[in-house]
Amino acid sequence: MKPKFVLSMMAVAALLASAVSAQTSSTPSTLPAAPGTANDPAPTTLSPTNKGIASINIEQAIFASNEGQRDMDSLSKKFEPKSNELKGQSDEIEALKKKLNTATEDAKAELQRQIEVKQKALDRAAQDAREDFQTQQNEIGQRILQKMAPIVIKCGNENGAGMILDTSQPWPQGMVLASGPGVDLTKCVVEAYNAQSGIAPPAPRSGAKPAGTGASSRPAGVGTSKPASAAANKPASSTTPAR
């Protein structure tokens, strides 16, 4: 299943793609304006004199930024009550399953019915929570990308890039079949974006991923596939509906 985050950002990513290929057109494409200063306006196109190829993991850049980490931490905390609720429902189902081992034949039929009813309700609730989480995650990603896109162009120009490839998704989900050592703009973009935003890095948490590894952790049973490369935490298999 393709991450919904990537699909929902296609419109914005298309703007970025049109800008980074501007050197092939007589009329340069433009990106949405981002906050800048009169003396240092945000660039919107790659220089036509640049000929090199650079890459960037857009998802990682977005969610490794201080703003991305802060907002994903807030989103995870927001969904903690729902995660706890889903875990409680899952624990209740597991308790009923254990009763099947010692139940009489007459009681087993009723227990099985209760398990099926509760499992269906849990699956629906978990799916709704995942979709709600994904929607709000997408909103965070789109908002940051709108402001980050000109910084991608700026870092590309500074590194002589005439084309920038997004390596967020492996082929065939992504367009890059294979790549080797080269100019990776991810770190440049994250550092420049952090400096522009003025947002302090989040306080380290016990067991938290180090910055630059992708999105912040998601509450169990709610999150879905990670914006970078790691899969989101999942509840026990009995609570995860088939995809």
What are the b/e assignments for 188-225, b being 16+ CB within 10 Å? Answer: bbbebbbebbebeebeeeeeebebbebbbbbbbbbbbb
Domain boundaries, the chain: 4-11+53-203+212-236
Q: What is the pLDDT of residues 128-185, one digit of tens each?
A: 999 999 999 999 999 999 999 999 999 999 999 999 999 999 888 888 887 777 899 9
Of the candidates 176, 234, 140, which has an alpha carbon nearest to the alpha carbon of residue 17? 176
Q: What is the pLDDT of residues 7-44, one digit of tens each?
A: 444 434 443 443 333 333 333 333 344 444 445 556 67
pTM of the model: 0.69
